[in-house]
Amino acid sequence: MQFTPDLDDLKKFRHQLHQHAETSNNEAFTSNIVKKKLEEYYPHKIIENVGGHGLVAIFKGKNPGKNVGIRADMDALPIDEFLDLPYGSITSNVAHKCGHDGHMTMVTGLGDYLQKNQPEYGDVYLIYQPAEETGEGAARVIKSLKALNIHLDYLFGLHNLPGVEKNLIVSKKSIFAAASKGMVIKLTGETSHAAEPENGKSPGLAIAKIITEITNLHKNHTFSSLTLATVIHTVMGEIAFGTSPGYGEVRVTLRAMQDKDMHELTNLAEDIVIQAAKENQLKQDISYIESFPSTENSEYIFETLQKSCPLKKYSF
């Protein structure tokens, strides 16, 4: 089972993916790039349009056995390419800033290995998931796999971790990554002339209170483990110096390792919003988007990785 990956070729492939970055639900060209590369490794089958622009490449084993899925995400972020790279993103305000181009490259490179080292037992499925950043893709891919009658006994995923030494695999038992959700707060008052703010109902002071108190929730309350509220965006009124604003929004990412902490954090954040709106005679509306459950590792798989890494000269 000796194998030496063609790293120069894979590097060119990653650069191509990086240059043609696409946001969630728009990964059509990315999917085409990946499919063409996978075809070089002659999988038994490539399935397109999985959960959107996703793909599944199937490498069959010699004999029936356990089926293994290896998953990569595909989408980029709506952020400008601020680095001067020869392979920088050619799409305005879209770039691979979360490393999904690297994830796709690693999983695709595995196709070369599987072509040259057919599994003895069970099939391997290379799965490319679209719309990871918005939280939509995972559920759609699961639905597609069920419709395709693809049963996985094990599923592996990974994420790059900048700054960690080469050949080190970082994992842990139980919960590895926190649950999170986006909290959208809308405050409605009444606009007025900027010279007569007392005749309006500005959300300004309420927004200031919400930002300050929500940001400090993890300092002022005791939680069982990592729990955090991060204000990521605010907007208020119009850019018109003659008016006092009558509307504002605050968007917050709520994050917690434990479900009970997420429940408490949500209640505390909502109480802050309700109180701030009441004090300033504002109407308030709270909604949630992009909800992600915590990522919980299988203990059996964790222990299997722990035992396997030294055999392959990886640190764990």
Do 152 and 192 have their domain in common?
A: no
Q: Facing residues of 50 across strands? A: 54
Distance CA 252, CA 270 (A): 11
pTM: 0.84
Question: Is residue 22 in some structural domain?
Answer: yes
Report if residue 173 sits inside a domain.
no
CATH code for position 198: 3.30.70.360
Residue with token string 């893709």: 137
Domain match, 154 and 257 both:
no
Radius of gyration of the chain (CA): 24
Statement to judge: residues 122 and 185 lie in one domain? no
Residues 50 and 187 in one domain: no
Q: Which pLDDT score, from 0 to 100, does residue 1 have?
A: 64
Structure confidence at residue 59 (pLDDT): 98
Please check whether residues 19 and 140 belong to one and the same domain. yes
Specify the number of domains making up the chain.
2
- Identify whether residues 184 and 140 lie together within a single domain: no
- Mean pLDDT of successive 10-residue segments in the chain (316 residues)? 90 98 98 98 98 98 97 97 94 96 98 96 98 93 97 94 90 91 97 95 98 97 96 95 97 96 97 98 96 90 88 81
Does an H or E element contain 11, and which?
helix 7-19
- For residue 166, being part of any structural domain is answered with no
Q: Are residues 147 and 260 in the same domain?
A: no
Look at residue 311 in the predicted model and tell me its pLDDT.
Answer: 77
266 with 155, same domain: the answer is no
Give the range of the structural domain holding residue 203, as residue numbers without chain letter: 179-292
Q: Same domain for 190 and 137?
A: no
CATH number at 116 reads 3.40.630.10
**Secondary structure (3-state) at 268:** helix
